[in-house]
Amino acid sequence: MNSELSMSDLAPLETAHVILRLEHDPQGLTLHWDDGRRSRLHALWLRDNCACPQCRHPQALERTFMFIDHSTPAIASAQLDQGGVLQVRFLSGDEAHVSRFSTGWLRAHGCALDALPERRGGRVLWDAGLGQHLPTIDYADYIATGEGLRDWIEAVQRHGIVLLRGVPTEPGQLLEVTRRVGPVRTSNFGDTYDVVSMPNPNASAYTSLGLELHTDLANWHSPPDIQLLFCLKSSVTGGDSVFADGFRVAEDLRLADPEAFELLSTQELEFRFHDASCDIRASAPTIAVGRDGQLQRIRFNNWLRSPMVMAESLVGPMYAALEKYWRMLRDPLYGLHLRLEPGCLIAYDNSRVLHGRTAFDPRSGERHLRGCYLTLDDLQSRLRLLERAPLKA
């Protein structure tokens, strides 16, 4: 791999697009692409991202150039060579420096915001209708092929839920499936936990009660991102699984009742779980929204919700807003009902998809799910490695 053209990136950075022409001045340059896009690149931005061995550590690939130790760079010249490599000559005080940028890198990293949508995977919001075409992957494909693994990860990113079927019904298989993506995210419930009805439960999950739709571990500052539930036994009466896309419901609430949405997205609620071995508390809004208005995380868990701390005048409206969201979650329009059979492993994005179950009769048979969590960073990293073509095989 040509280290200059790879721009210190282990993945190939290719693009079908061509730079038709460029203009430069001391403060920056403008690229004119064949699809009409114009990328204006600031001189310091370009200089700061130089990938030559003086500016990035050649093994660590990390930036060693520290812009604050140099005076402001000015572009002295800029030209494209026939291979599509942009060569820029900078002057900065008495220093001169030449940097080279590949077309693929410039297309992928252009600082303009219009490059962002190309980088972000599409998210598809869903309702109960997804039950007809739930993303489903065969275990054999998942465990043995890069394509199966990639399809599984992309389903988690796109729909926030994916079913794996045909998993051998041995308890250890959950970790086999998980390890293909990354290390288990541990919690106060351990690396893995067995969802069965227990005589002295420390959580409602470990009873035979029906469970309203909820997100797990809302009481952590960073709740787990991805949850996996592996069905080992399922002979009881009742105990069906229910899922809903909390983002779909939140977007519908945003349209139907902007004031309720505003309250749920700005006012924090408090959550807590405590037993003999831990006491874990965090506060956060029910619907976390980024500065760009994009939904980031749903926290909804009636069991773990602690007393609200807010001005008394907000308490009534907050309960009303919570009720509105909760009633929408209960609407059959949104809920996806599923009977997990032994060998089924359902995975879903706990920051977005709520899960629950119907009550079951523990004397009617057995019900045993084994669960664990994964971290989004590990999931995304695995997908990027799969896309790093030269290392894919």
| Site for a second copy, residues 53 to 82, rule: CB under 8 A | 57, 59-64, 66-68
Burial call 366-380: b when 16+ CB within 10 Å, e when fewer: ebbbbbbbbbbebbb
The one among 26, 121, 183, 258 contacting a second copy by CB under 8 A: 183
345: left (phi over 0), alpha (psi -120 to 50) or beta: beta
The one among 20, 98, 112, 256 contacting a second copy by CB under 8 A: 112
Could you tell me the smallest distance in angstroms from the CB atom of residue 169 to a second copy? 28
- Judged on CB neighbours under 10 Å (0-12, 13-18, 19+), 116 is exposed
Could you tell me the smallest distance in angstroms from the CB atom of residue 250 to a second copy? 17
| Contact window for a second copy (CB under 8 A) among 90-98, 235-243, 266-274, 356-364 | 266-274
**Hey, which residues between 117 and 176 contact a second copy (CB under 8 A)?**
none
**Hey, which residues between 320 and 359 contact a second copy (CB under 8 A)?**
322-323, 326-327
List, in order, residues 6 or more apart from 343 with CB less than 8 Å away: 139, 165, 166, 167, 168, 169, 231
| Contact window for a second copy (CB under 8 A) among 44-52, 173-181, 244-252, 364-372 | 44-52
Could you tell me the smallest distance in angstroms from the CB atom of residue 243 to a second copy? 19
Nearer to a second copy, 126 or 325 (CB): 325
Nearer to a second copy, 20 or 116 (CB): 116
The one among 17, 188, 288, 358 contacting a second copy by CB under 8 A: 188
| Contact window for a second copy (CB under 8 A) among 113-121, 131-139, 155-163, 352-360 | 113-121
Distance between the two ends of the chain, CA-based, in angstroms? 16
Q: Is 203 in the site for a second copy (CB under 8 A)?
A: yes
Could you tell me the smallest distance in angstroms from the CB atom of residue 209 to a second copy? 7
Nearer to a second copy, 291 or 363 (CB): 291
Could you tell me the smallest distance in angstroms from the CB atom of residue 377 to a second copy? 5
Q: Is 253 in the site for a second copy (CB under 8 A)?
A: no
Residue 294 CA to residue 276 CA, distance in Å, equals 38
Nearer to a second copy, 62 or 94 (CB): 62
Closest CA to 241 of 212, 207, 199, 203: 212
